[in-house]
Amino acid sequence: MGTVTIQHGKEKPIQNQHPWIYSGAISKLTDDCQPGDIVTVVDSKGRFLGRGYYNPTSQIRVRMLTWQDETINEEWWYDQLSRAVHSRMVYQDEFDAGVNNAVRLVNAENDFLPGLVVDRYGEWLVLQSLTLGMDHHKEVLSNLLAEMLKPRGIYERSDVDIRRKEGLKDQTGLLWGEEPPSMIEIEENTLIFSVDVRNGHKTGFYLDQRENRGWLHDLLYLDGDDLHEDKRRVLNMFSYTGGFGLYALAAGVKQVVNVDSSQAVLKVAKDSIKRNELPLENAQFVTGDAFQVLRDYVTQGEQFDVVVLDPPKFAQSTKDVEGATRGYKDLNLQSFKLIRSGGYLMTFSCSGAISQDLFQKVVFGALADSGRQAQIIRHLSGSEDHPVALTFPEGAYLKGLLCRVW
Ligand code: SAH
């Protein structure tokens, strides 16, 4: 096994169990450090720090797997996977009760399995490998997952931009078992959604927003009386396949306007509303650019009781932060203008490069320009099955605010 030596003074984050070692922290490598291999990491005096996998193409040269002097073999992978899967056991009860059957089982670095995402959609699993090190182990991992969970099939969706930084091409297709159908029906809090694991975003669905969709439902269902009873209107910006919109209809709102730039995803949203026997006459679908649609609504004097803003990732890395904050500010500013007094804004950012603190400042900036008043009712984050390792603040990519607006 190859050995990677860390420069004197750069060992602290590794000792504190941050999982990434950048090229600049490494002083030397032995010749047997091969791309994708497991390596031993030592400090400048040769003392053991841990083990991880190595990729000379990536700026993140090593992703740490363990800080103990242990062998990374099949048994190790099994134990590590098993720990992640078993920590989702609360969902198993819901699975058995037919309430929730889609869950993230492995959340990469945050489950101490860097570069690996595994999502469960009913009887199917979707595996996403983000790194060369994980690519090397994906067959072993699929076999272990099959043994552990007995799915009908495991489909691979390793087609994310971040793979470019690892020097990798996209890889998709069947890894184990049967081919999944073109649409998998899942249940989320008793609502049925259709998931296209081949072409859908991420592994097919935004599982990370499950609990926030629940909060929207509760807000509309329980606190709905505070809103304008007979004309409650929800604007669901960046609807994707209808997530927040379906919850709003299920809570009994009079109208939901779903906006997305993709007509195809709105078609799925429409089908899901029918499938759940929710009132289609209460839903509208608008294909368009969110920035323009919001401006047009402001010009037209439209008003909503709740606006949900769930844009895609605007900042891919720290160099995009400035442009991204301008985008978030504009969306939030226009949205504030559209909310009736006493209504709500549910606003998100899923950019890892933008902290919760910065996001709140951006929303504050938008509020100041809008001339409105607002209160934070709740800080929002990813669902419970998307844990964030305390050693890895980068894992907290999804953040949001629920604000009451006056
Ligand atoms: N809220 C959704 C997930 C939203 S994902 C859920 O709970 O499932 C972001 C969505 O924004 C995608 O569907 C994408 O098609 C859409 N999108 C991206 N850029 C857009 C733009 N400029 N205007 C409108 N929609 C956009």
Per-residue pLDDT of 117-137, as tens digits, reads: 999 999 999 999 999 999 999
Q: Report the number of distinct structural domains present in the chain.
A: 3
Nearest in space to 92 (alpha carbons), one of 100, 82, 80: 100
Residue for token pair 């694991």: 197
* Per-residue pLDDT at 262 exceeds 90: yes
Tell me, yes or no, whether 262 lies in a domain. Answer: yes
- Residue 281 CA, ligand 1 centroid: distance in Å: 22
* Pocket test residue of 203, 207, 240 for ligand 1, highest count of atoms within 8 A of CB: 240
Q: Which of 159, 188, 217 is the last residue of a domain?
A: 188
Nearest in space to 108 (alpha carbons), one of 129, 135, 132: 129
pLDDT the model gives residue 94 = 75
pLDDT the model gives residue 210 = 96
- Torsion sign, CA atoms 189, 173, 77, 57: negative
Report the CATH number that the domain containing residue 108 is assigned in CATH. 3.30.750.80
Here the tokens at position 229 are: 């009873």
* Nearest residue by C-alpha to atom 9 in ligand 1: 312
Report the CATH number that the domain containing residue 343 is assigned in CATH. 3.40.50.150
Q: What is the mean pLDDT of the chain?
A: 95
277 and 391 housed in the same domain:
yes
Q: Where residue 223 falls among pLDDT bands split at 50, 70, 90? A: low
pLDDT the model gives residue 136 = 97
Q: Which candidate in 350, 366, 403, 405 is catalytic?
A: 350
Tell me, yes or no, whether 24 lies in a domain. Answer: yes
Range scoring the smallest mean pLDDT among 57-66, 91-100, 262-271, 394-403: 91-100
pLDDT the model gives residue 38 = 97
219 and 315 housed in the same domain:
yes
109 and 237 housed in the same domain:
no
Q: Which of 66, 99, 122 is the last residue of a domain?
A: 66
Report the CATH number that the domain containing residue 14 is assigned in CATH. 2.30.130.10
pLDDT the model gives residue 90 = 72
Q: Which of 188, 216, 249 is the last residue of a domain?
A: 188
SS3 content of the chain, % helix, strand, coil (to 5): 35, 30, 35
213 and 359 housed in the same domain:
yes
* Pocket test residue of 196, 260, 266 for ligand 1, highest count of atoms within 8 A of CB: 260
- Residue 238 CA, ligand 1 centroid: distance in Å: 3
Tell me, yes or no, whether 232 lies in a domain. Answer: yes
Tens digits of per-residue pLDDT, 41-83?
Answer: 999 999 999 999 999 999 999 999 999 999 999 999 999 999 9
Q: Where residue 28 falls among pLDDT bands split at 50, 70, 90? A: very high
- Residue 333 CA, ligand 1 centroid: distance in Å: 18
Range scoring the smallest mean pLDDT among 202-216, 217-231, 278-292: 217-231
pLDDT the model gives residue 214 = 96
pLDDT the model gives residue 226 = 56
Nearest in space to 196 (alpha carbons), one of 186, 210, 209: 186
Tell me, yes or no, whether 162 lies in a domain. Answer: yes
Q: Catalytic: 350?
A: yes
* Per-residue pLDDT at 227 exceeds 70: no
170 and 216 housed in the same domain:
no
Which amino acid does the sequence have at 107? Answer: N
Pocket of ligand 1 (CB under 6 A): 206, 209, 238, 240-241, 243-244, 260-262, 265, 289-290, 310, 312
237 and 310 housed in the same domain:
yes
Segments forming the whole domain that contains residue 120: 74-188
Tell me, yes or no, whether 196 lies in a domain. Answer: no
Q: What percent of the chain has pLDDT over 70?
A: 98
Tell me, yes or no, whether 197 lies in a domain. Answer: no
50 and 108 housed in the same domain:
no
Which amino acid does the sequence have at 66? Answer: T
Tell me, yes or no, whether 286 lies in a domain. Answer: yes
Q: Which residues pair with 177 in a beta bridge?
A: 153
Q: Which residues contact 7 (CB under 8 A, 6 or more apart)?
A: 24, 25, 26, 27, 44
Tell me, yes or no, whether 88 lies in a domain. Answer: yes
401 and 254 housed in the same domain:
yes
* Nearest residue by C-alpha to atom 22 in ligand 1: 289
* Nearest residue by C-alpha to atom 16 in ligand 1: 238
57 and 81 housed in the same domain:
no
* Pocket test residue of 199, 239, 249 for ligand 1, highest count of atoms within 8 A of CB: 239
Q: Judge residue 256's burial from the number of C-beta atoms within 10 Å of its C-beta, 0-12 exposed, 13-18 middle, 19 or more buried.
A: buried
CA distances in angstroms from 56 to 108, 159, 167, 267, 324, listed in the order given: 20, 21, 9, 43, 30
102 and 240 housed in the same domain:
no
pLDDT the model gives residue 125 = 97
247 and 396 housed in the same domain:
yes
253 and 297 housed in the same domain:
yes
